[in-house]
Structure 1
C-alpha cells in the first residue's frame, strides 16, 4: 500500500505520508500563530504607557499557539511511533512530554501576566519562570526534531548507512473472486423509485428461488434500502415482503419515509436548523476573531484611523513601505523561488532535491501569502471603497445591518437565511431536472437559471455577506466604534461557543445523516413477530454491519456500495474525484482499480470500534444512509455539477455524507482497536472516541477543501457517485452470473448508467463487457419490445488459467415494454414521467409505490420466463 506523493517515489505508505502531512500542517499552524503574536509583542515592548490591548491579545493568541504546538508534538510522536523504531519511539515520548510540561507552564505564565496589564505596561515575561518554560519547550522540540530526522529515510541513510524501508503494514489478500461460480444480484440507485422497483424484482427472484441461490446482494443508494430490508427480514422469516405479508402492508404506509407525519417533519426542520445555526456560529467565531486581531493591527500601524467625518485608509502610513512589504513578502518569496528555478534551469541541471525544496517553499509561501495579502491589502481596500462608516456606502442597508444588534439586523440576518434556503431549493430542483429536454423557451430559461445562475448566486451571497461582516467588524475594532478592542468578555463568549460546539456535537452530528439514518431504519428495517405482526426494529439496537450483513439461516450476504471522495491525482483520473467504498461483513473500505495501493480494507469489526466506541457509525442503517447520501457538498464523479454549490450546501447543512476513518490508516494484522476490557480502558477509549470525532476542519474541507486519500478521515457518500448499478463491484467479485436490477433515471433510450459501468469496468479492472441494450430501445415505436438484455463480461486472463474467466450479465431495466397489466397501463396514461420520476421526489403515495413495485415484478418475470435466461440461471 505505497503511495507516491511529493517526491516519495512510491517508497512510503499512504498512512506514512498522511501522518507526515498532518504533522506538517499542525506545525505550520503553530508557526503562523507565533508570527501573529510578533507585532503585538513589539507593540508592548515599544510602549511607554498603557498597552493592555496588544498585550492581552497576544496572550489570547498565545492560548491558541499552545494548543497548536502541543498537538504538533503529539503528531510528531505518533509519526515516530508509526515508523516502529522502538528506541527512537521512547525518546520521542520524552520529547512530547517535555513539550506538554512547557505548555502547562506557558498557561500558568499567561494567567499570571493577564492582570498585570490592567493599568500599566508590563513586560511579557515572568523572568526566570519564562526562561525555564522556554528552555523545556525548546528541549522537547529539539528531541522530537532529532527523532523525526533519525527515523526518516534520509536520516537512516546518513546515520546508519541503510535505507529505511516502509513500515510493515498488514495487507489482506484481495477478495476478487469471492463470489466465483456464484450468482450476484445488484440493486441500483434511485431513491424511493428504485426501492419500489427493486422490491418487486426481488419478490419475483425470491419466488423463483434465485434470491436464496445468490451468494451476494449489492445495494446502491435507493436500491440499498430494499437490499438491506430484504436481507434483515430474511434472517427472521424465509419469505420477506411476500404479497399479503404484514411487512409489505406496513411498508406501503411508509412511502413518505423522510417526512412521515408531523413529528418527522418537526425533527427534519430542527435537524436542518441545528446544523445551520452551528455552521453560522462557526463562521461568526472565525470572522470575529480575525476582525479583532486585524482591526487592532491596522489601527496600530496607522493604516486605518478615524477622521473627522469618515475612516482614513493609508497603505503607506507615515510614508513608510514597511506595511506593504509585510503584506506582499510571502508572495514575493513564492515568485522568487519560481524565478530562481527557471534561471538555474537555464544555466545548469537542478538536482531533484533542490527542485523539491524550492517547489515546497514556493507552494507554502503562496498558500499563506494569498490570505495575508487579502487581509492586509484587501480589507483596508474594502474599507476605503465602503467609504464612511457609518454612512452612505453604496451597499444595501440590509447587508450593512447584518452585524447590528437591532431589529433591522435580525431582520437582515433572517432574510439572508431565507434567500439562501430558497436558492438551495431552486438549485436542487434544477439539478434534479438536468438532462430533461424541453422545447419550451420558459422551461429552458428556468433550467438555465436553476443550474447556471442560482448556484453561483448562492455562493456569491455567502461570500459577499462574509466580506461585509468582516469589514464592518474590522473597521469597528480599528476605530473603536461600537466595538471596543479591550472588551475581553467577547473572548470568553467566543471560547465558550467554540468549546460548546466541540463538546456537544461534531461534523457528523450536525449533518442530516443521523435524521436520514433513523428514518430509513424505521421505514425499511422490520421484523415479523411471533404473532404475525410486522414491527420496526428498535432503532436503539445496534445492527453492527459485521454481524447483520452476514447471512443467517440461508440467503445471500449484504454488500452496500458507497464512495470515498478524494481528489488525489496520484490515485484517481481527472475529475473522477472518488474511489469505491464498500461495506462488507468481513472487510470494509476502499476498493477500485488495480493501480490503487493495496491495504485499503480493514476487518469490519475492528473498523466499527475505531469509527465509534458506541458502535453507531458502521451499522446497516448507517450504510443504507451513506450509500444514499446524494445530497452532499462532495459528490464524486458528479462534482462538476455540484462544485458551484458546495459552499451553499455546506452552509445550509444540506449534508448527508459521513466522515469515517481512513481504512488505509491503522491497517494491521492484529486489530488496532480490540474489544475493551476493564473500566479504566473503556473510559479512556470512550473519551478518546468522543474527542476524535470530526470537527469544523472537516466541514471546511466539505465546503472549499480538497479531500485526499492521505487524510486521516475520508468523506463517504452515495455509491451512485461512482457506479449507480453496482455492476462494477459485482464484476470485481468474479461471479458466474449477475442479475442487475436497474431503476436509474436515464434519458430515454440512452442507458447512461450502463455505459458508464461498462467503461469503468474496463478502465479499473480490465474487464470487457459485451452487452447490447438495443432491444430495450423504444426508437420510433410507442415502447420498447422488452425491458431486459443479456451480456458477457470477460475478465483478464490470470496466469495459469487455460482461458479467461467469464461472467454472464442479465439486466432488467425500469422502462415501459410490451403489454403490461391494466393497472400499470392506466397509471402510465396518467403519469407521463412513469417510470422515470425524478429522484428528487421522494414522496410517494400508495398508487405510486404499487406502480413501481408491480413494474419491477412484471419486468423481472419477463426476464426469468424467457427460456434461454431460465435455462442459463438454472445451470448454476
Structure 2
C-alpha cells in the first residue's frame, strides 16, 4: 500500500467504501462494453451499401449493447444507492432524478435495438445504427442522467463536501474497544473444537459428563466449532425440551448411533448427494461455456475484421501486422505501455524532485488501472491469434491430443472427450482430497513418499493445468470458428440459447443453491437435531421448520446459549495479516457478524433477528442447521488460514462444485442503529420484500471469486466457511467474551505431542486481543513413554488492562485433549490396540460405525471425568 486507506484510517465506513467500489466496478464494465461496440459500429459504417458485410457487425453490436444496457442500469442504481447512503437528502432527490433519466434512456435503447434488429439481414439494405430522433433522445437522456449522477457523486464524497460546505468531516467510525458487560462476564464458557464426526463423538462424551456434574447447566455459553458444533447444537436443541439430553440409554443416543454415517446414510442420501454434485457441476460448466462462447464470438469477429486471422486452403493464416500496419499491435499493448510510462514518470520525477503524495497516488492509480485491463487485452489480442497460429500449424492429432481438440465438436468424439475430461477431473479431485487429508503425516517407504508427493504436489497443479488448457482449447476453437466461418458469425440462434441459459441460471438458482451447502445442512439437521416425543421416541426435527438462530440458540431454562464460530474469507491487506485471509464470523443469538482485533473498525456485528431477515425473507439462511453446516464447511475453495494448502486446488474445487461455504450479507453493510430489515405487514410490502430478496441472492459470478480467491471485506457479500480456518478450539472467541472460566474440549487432529491447535490459539489470542495465555501442556506429552500422564491441563489467560481499571482481568482455562492417558476402560483399551490411529483418526473419514462412535464418546467422557475429578479443578469450578 502507498499509505493508509480510508477504511483503516476510519475516514469512511466499510459500507461507504464498498458501495463506492461496487458502483465503480459496474461503471467500468459499462465503459468496457461501450468500447467493445466501437469497432462494430465502424464496420457498419464502412460497409454502407453492403447488406452481407453489414449484418454481422450490426447485430453483434446490438447484442453487446443489450449487455451494456443492463450494466448501465446497475451502475445508475448503485450510484443512487451510494448517494442515498451518505444521507444528504437534497442530493439524494437529485440523484433519484439522474437514475430515472438513465433508466429512461435504457428503455429507449431497448426500443431502438429491437427496431434496428429487424432492419439488418442478408437481404436488407445496410443502414446506420441510428433511428433518428429516438437515438438522439436516448443519448440526451442518458448523458443528462450520467452528468446528474456524477455531480451528486462528487458532492457527497468527502472531498466534495469539504469543498462545497467548507467543513472538516469527523471520522465516521472508531477502532476503540470498550469492555463488553455481556452475559459471559464472570461466568463459565464451554468450547467444543472442530474435527468432524471424531470431534462430535468425543465432545458428546465430554458434554454428557459436564451435564452430570452440573457444569453444563452452570455455563453461560457453549461455543461450537465445525464438528464440535454438531454436538454443541444437538445438545442445546434437545435441552430446550428435556433436562437430560443424550443421557445413557436415552432414545436420542440410540438414534444417534444409527446416524454415524450422517453424510451418506442410506441409498437415498447417496443419490441426493450425487445429484447435488452433478447439479452444481452442470451449472458451473454452463457458466464457463456461455462466457467462453460470448468472448469467442466478439473476439473472432474482431480478429477477422482486422484481417489478423484469415482462412487459408488448409490452415489458418495469422498476421499481427495486416497490410504492414502496426495499429493492431499498438492497440494490443497500448494499455501496458501506459502503465509502464506511469512507472517511468514516477521514477524520473523522484530523480529530480520530491513528488507530492497526491501525484504519486494518481500515477499509481493510472498505472494499476491500465495494467489491470492491459494484461487481459494483450492476452486476448496477441495470445489468441498466437494460439490459433499454432493450432493451424498442427493439423490432425499428431501434436495435440485429438480428445482436447474435439472438446467443442458436436460429435460422438466430442461428447466422449468432454465426458472423459470430467471423469479425469473427478479422479484427480478424489486423489487431491486424500492427499490433503494425510498431508503433514510422515510417509514411510519410497512408494508411500512418492504417492504422497504425487497427491499433494503434482495432482493439484495438474488438475488446474488441465482445466486451464481445456478452457484455452475451447476458446481457441470457438474463436477460430467465428473468425473464418461466416455461418458461425451469423447463427443468431446461439445468442438466444446463451441468453436463455444465463436467465435460467439466474432465475432458477444462485451461488448458494448450486453448492453442496443445502445437502450438507439437511443431512446435519436430520442426523443431530432431534426431539424426544411424549411416548419416549426420539425423532428428527422437521427439516422445514425454520430454526432461527435468534430464537433457538437462546438459553433454554436458564442453561447456556449456543454460539457457533465460522470465518469470513477476506484477503484485504488493510485488515488481515499476510496469508491469514480471514476474519472470525460468529453466530450469536443476540448479535451476529465479524469480530476480531483492533485493526477492524466497529460495526461488524448486527442484531441477529434483523440479519436473518436480510439474508433471506423466508429466514432460511441463518438457522441453527445452517450455522452448523457453515462452521463445518471445511471443503471449500477458500479456507482462510489454510489457504496455502488448498490454493493449488482452488480452481478444481470450484469447478467440481466441492463447495460447502455460503455467501452471506456483509454485516458491515446496512448496519443501522435500528433494524434495517424490520418485519413487514401487508400483502404489497411482503411481495415487494419477497421479490427483492429473491433477486438479491448471490449471483453465479461468485463462483469466479471462489475460484481465483479475491474476496474482500468491502464486498456486499462475504464467503463464510469452517470456523477451524481461523482457530479450531473456540478458545479465542471464548476469551474475547471475558468469562471467569473456560473448559476447552479439544479433539483436533494435530500431531501427537505437538498441540498445534493450542499453540495457534495462544498466538492468535495474543496477536488479536492482547491476551496472554500461560498454560503448560507438558503433562499431556507422551514422549518415549507408553502413554501420557494425563489428558488435561490448567492455565490462566491475562487480559490487557482497560481504561479505568487498575488490575488485569484473568480467566481460568481447563483444557482436555483427546489423547490416550491413564488407565481407561477395557473396551477403549482394546479399540486402541486394534486401531493404531486412535484417537487421531483422519477428518477425511466421516463414516463411523457404532464401535468407532462409542470409542470416541467413551474416551471424551473418561478424560473429562479425569479433569473434573481432580481435587484442585473440582474446587476451582465449584467456586464459580
How would you bin the TM-score normalised by the shorter chain?
over 0.9
Q: 1:746, CA displacement in angstroms?
A: 0.9
Task: Please name the residue that 2:437 is paired with.
Answer: 432
Residues 1:82 and 2:85 are matched in the alignment = yes
Q: In 2, Cα distance between the equivalents of 1:168 and 1:732?
A: 21
Write the deviation string for residues 78-126 of structure 1: whole angstroms up to 9, x where unpaired.
0000000000000000000000000000000000000111122111000
Q: In 1, Cα distance between the equivalents of 2:60 and 2:319?
A: 24
Q: 1:799, CA displacement in angstroms?
A: 2.6
Task: Please name the residue that 1:802 is paired with.
Answer: 806
Q: 1:393, CA displacement in angstroms?
A: 6.2
Q: 1:165, CA displacement in angstroms?
A: 4.2
Q: In 2, Cα distance between the equivalents of 1:798 and 1:141?
A: 50
Q: 1:517, CA displacement in angstroms?
A: 0.2
Q: In 2, Cα distance between the equivalents of 1:301 and 1:169?
A: 55
1:56 corresponds, among 59, 62, 69, to 59
Residues 1:207 and 2:217 are matched in the alignment = no
Task: Please name the residue that 2:94 is paired with.
Answer: 91
Q: Do the aligned partners of 1:66 and 1:106 also contact (CA within 8 Å) in 2? A: yes
Residues 1:69 and 2:72 are matched in the alignment = yes
Q: Do the aligned partners of 1:172 and 1:599 also contact (CA within 8 Å) in 2? A: no
Q: 1:562, CA displacement in angstroms?
A: 0.2
Q: 1:171, CA displacement in angstroms?
A: 11
Q: Do the aligned partners of 1:229 and 1:526 also contact (CA within 8 Å) in 2? A: yes
Residues 1:737 and 2:737 are matched in the alignment = no
- Cα gap change, 1:512/1:617 in structure 2, threshold over 3 Å: closer, same or farther? same
- Cα gap change, 1:225/1:69 in structure 2, threshold over 3 Å: closer, same or farther? same
Superposition map of 1:819-858 within 5 A: 819-858=823-862
Q: In 2, Cα distance between the equivalents of 1:160 and 1:198?
A: 60
Superposition map of 1:636-651 within 5 A: 636-651=640-655
Residues 1:695 and 2:702 are matched in the alignment = no
Task: Please name the residue that 1:34 is paired with.
Answer: 34
Write the deviation string for residues 429-454 of structure 1: whole angstroms up to 9, x where unpaired.
11110111122111111111111111
Task: Please name the residue that 1:108 is paired with.
Answer: 111
Task: Please name the residue that 1:591 is paired with.
Answer: 595
Q: Do the aligned partners of 2:182 and 2:737 also contact (CA within 8 Å) in 1? A: yes
Q: In 1, Cα distance between the equivalents of 2:362 and 2:396?
A: 50
Runs of 4 or more above 6 Å deviation:
168-174
Task: Please name the residue that 2:316 is paired with.
Answer: 311
Task: Please name the residue that 2:24 is paired with.
Answer: 24
Residues 1:190 and 2:214 are matched in the alignment = no
Q: Do the aligned partners of 2:563 and 2:586 also contact (CA within 8 Å) in 1? A: yes
- Cα gap change, 1:854/1:168 in structure 2, threshold over 3 Å: closer, same or farther? closer
Q: 1:160, CA displacement in angstroms?
A: 2.2
Q: Do the aligned partners of 2:6 and 2:12 also contact (CA within 8 Å) in 1? A: no
Q: In 2, Cα distance between the equivalents of 1:525 and 1:364?
A: 51
Residues 1:516 and 2:526 are matched in the alignment = no
Task: Please name the residue that 1:278 is paired with.
Answer: 283
Secondary structure in 2 matching 1:35: helix
Q: 1:554, CA displacement in angstroms?
A: 2.5
- Structure 1 window deviating more from structure 2 (687-696 vs 228-237): it is 687-696
Q: In 1, Cα distance between the equivalents of 2:704 and 2:773?
A: 40
Q: Do the aligned partners of 2:638 and 2:706 also contact (CA within 8 Å) in 1? A: yes
Residues 1:125 and 2:127 are matched in the alignment = no
Residues 1:334 and 2:318 are matched in the alignment = no
Q: In 2, Cα distance between the equivalents of 1:809 and 1:832?
A: 30
Task: Please name the residue that 2:389 is paired with.
Answer: 384
Q: Do the aligned partners of 1:219 and 1:560 also contact (CA within 8 Å) in 2? A: yes
Q: In 1, Cα distance between the equivalents of 2:758 and 2:840?
A: 16
Task: Please name the residue that 1:159 is paired with.
Answer: 164
Q: Do the aligned partners of 1:309 and 1:388 also contact (CA within 8 Å) in 2? A: no
- Structure 1 window deviating more from structure 2 (795-804 vs 102-111): it is 795-804
Q: In 1, Cα distance between the equivalents of 2:798 and 2:183?
A: 17
2:866 corresponds, among 834, 857, 862, to 862
Secondary structure in 2 matching 1:563: strand
Q: In 2, Cα distance between the equivalents of 1:787 and 1:488?
A: 70
- Structure 1 window deviating more from structure 2 (208-217 vs 40-49): it is 40-49
Q: 1:552, CA displacement in angstroms?
A: 2.1
Q: In 2, Cα distance between the equivalents of 1:432 and 1:711?
A: 32
Task: Please name the residue that 2:399 is paired with.
Answer: 394
- Structure 1 window deviating more from structure 2 (247-256 vs 154-163): it is 154-163
Task: Please name the residue that 1:264 is paired with.
Answer: 269
Task: Please name the residue that 2:359 is paired with.
Answer: 354
Secondary structure in 1 matching 2:600: coil
TM-score (norm 2): 0.98
Q: In 1, Cα distance between the equivalents of 2:785 and 2:608?
A: 50
Q: In 2, Cα distance between the equivalents of 1:564 and 1:361?
A: 31
Task: Please name the residue that 1:792 is paired with.
Answer: 796
Secondary structure in 2 matching 1:555: coil
Unaligned runs of 5+ in 1: none
Residues 1:619 and 2:619 are matched in the alignment = no
Secondary structure in 1 matching 2:701: helix
Write the deviation string for residues 594-619 of structure 1: whole angstroms up to 9, x where unpaired.
22111100000000000001100000
- Cα gap change, 1:538/1:725 in structure 2, threshold over 3 Å: closer, same or farther? same
Q: In 2, Cα distance between the equivalents of 1:174 and 1:268?
A: 46
Q: 1:359, CA displacement in angstroms?
A: 1.2
- Cα gap change, 1:591/1:668 in structure 2, threshold over 3 Å: closer, same or farther? same
Task: Please name the residue that 1:708 is paired with.
Answer: 712
Q: In 1, Cα distance between the equivalents of 2:687 and 2:505?
A: 22
Q: Do the aligned partners of 1:171 and 1:599 also contact (CA within 8 Å) in 2? A: no
Q: Do the aligned partners of 1:560 and 1:584 also contact (CA within 8 Å) in 2? A: yes
Task: Please name the residue that 1:777 is paired with.
Answer: 781
Residues 1:245 and 2:250 are matched in the alignment = yes
- Cα gap change, 1:468/1:109 in structure 2, threshold over 3 Å: closer, same or farther? same
Residues 1:231 and 2:236 are matched in the alignment = yes
Task: Please name the residue that 1:682 is paired with.
Answer: 686
Q: 1:8, CA displacement in angstroms?
A: 7.9
Q: 1:800, CA displacement in angstroms?
A: 2.8
Task: Please name the residue that 2:146 is paired with.
Answer: 141
TM-score (norm 1): 0.98
Write the deviation string for residues 349-397 of structure 1: whole angstroms up to 9, x where unpaired.
2222222111111111111111110000000000111125863561100
Superposition map of 1:602-617 within 5 A: 602-617=606-621
Q: Do the aligned partners of 2:318 and 2:385 also contact (CA within 8 Å) in 1? A: yes
Q: In 1, Cα distance between the equivalents of 2:277 and 2:776?
A: 45
Superposition map of 1:537-616 within 5 A: 537-616=541-620
- Structure 1 window deviating more from structure 2 (193-202 vs 339-348): it is 339-348
Q: In 1, Cα distance between the equivalents of 2:834 and 2:726?
A: 34
Secondary structure in 2 matching 1:696: coil
Q: Do the aligned partners of 1:427 and 1:451 also contact (CA within 8 Å) in 2? A: yes
Write the deviation string for residues 444-468 of structure 1: whole angstroms up to 9, x where unpaired.
1111111111110110000000000
- Cα gap change, 1:414/1:840 in structure 2, threshold over 3 Å: closer, same or farther? same
Count of matched residue positions in the alignment of Structure 1 and Structure 2: 873
Secondary structure in 2 matching 1:274: helix
Q: In 1, Cα distance between the equivalents of 2:296 and 2:246?
A: 60
Secondary structure in 2 matching 1:399: helix
- Cα gap change, 1:101/1:166 in structure 2, threshold over 3 Å: closer, same or farther? farther
Q: In 1, Cα distance between the equivalents of 2:580 and 2:651?
A: 20
Q: 1:168, CA displacement in angstroms?
A: 8.0
Q: Do the aligned partners of 2:839 and 2:856 also contact (CA within 8 Å) in 1? A: yes
Secondary structure in 2 matching 1:665: coil
Superposition map of 1:472-511 within 5 A: 472-480=477-485, 484-511=488-515
Q: In 1, Cα distance between the equivalents of 2:315 and 2:524?
A: 58
Q: In 2, Cα distance between the equivalents of 1:793 and 1:167?
A: 33
- Cα gap change, 1:74/1:801 in structure 2, threshold over 3 Å: closer, same or farther? same
Q: 1:52, CA displacement in angstroms?
A: 0.3
